[in-house]
Amino acid sequence: MALIGVFDSGVGGLSIWREIVRLLPQHDVLYVADQAHVPYGHRPLEEVRRFAEGIARFLIGEGVQVVVLACNTASAAALHYLRAVLPQVPFVGMEPAVKPAVQNTQTGVVGVIATPATFQGELFASLLERFANNVTVLTRVCPGWVEAVEAGMLNTPETEALVRSCLEPLLEAGIDELVLGCTHYPFLRPVIERVVGPGVEVIDPAPAVARQTGRVLAARGAGPSRGPARRRFATTGDPERFRAMLSRLIGVDAQVEPLRWTPGGLLERVT
């Protein structure tokens, strides 16, 4: 039986959870939201790395066979580090989908939207070095987007104004590919597509991450659960608020386990 561990700073990683469950419906999944510290995007990379390690150690203690960092910021800050210090399980991380955007562009101008920490990490610099030859890659930080999703403001005039103010400079520069470099952003996709129009392809990396998770499990010989697959959710924030967002964002009604951080940086259940 394979238990997949998935974590994010908040509800954004549910966009990855949704694809994992769709592609791998026979596997148990445990999702952890670190809402005590959301958003991660403006925090120092070292701080995010500490949070990511604490969550990863908790998930390993729960018996997961693979850990998915369903957070671009955490991946930028901690993916290589976690693979080094916790080699007993494989880690699947996020990276902005620069490669397919570069392959598909007709204008030669690609837009990537993400948090400051994602752009500061070595992963993003490596992506540009490997794939962005002869193509202009424009980056934008989009303040307020994560907070809007966490608040459930998915399709309001205020949210559309946030989206428009961030994307208009990219549109004026001639992008025809837009990479969503934060797992919260797919929940704003209807607004994003309305703003950018049909001439811009919006790329969500969630399906690719789910496929990679499946490949990792297959390589480890991990079989499906023997009974109905279990879907567990936990948060360091307000469990009832998170439960309401589960229903709103992905149509799931489930109990949410409360977690808390110890002074020593460990994650534990609230009893």
CA distance 192 to 155: 10
Catalytic residue among 29, 32, 71, 123: 71
Is 182 an active-site residue?
yes
Q: Is residue 142 among the annotated active site residues? A: no
Q: Are 234 and 256 in contact (CB under 8 A)?
A: yes
C-alpha distance from residue 111 to each of 17, 42, 170, 194, 200 (Å) = 25, 20, 6, 16, 10
Per-residue CA distances from 221 to 32, 216, 225, 255, 267 (Å)? 24, 9, 13, 30, 29
Considering 2, 76, 97, 182, which one is annotated as catalytic? Answer: 182
First CA to last CA across the chain, in angstroms? Answer: 27
Which residues belong to the active site?
71, 182
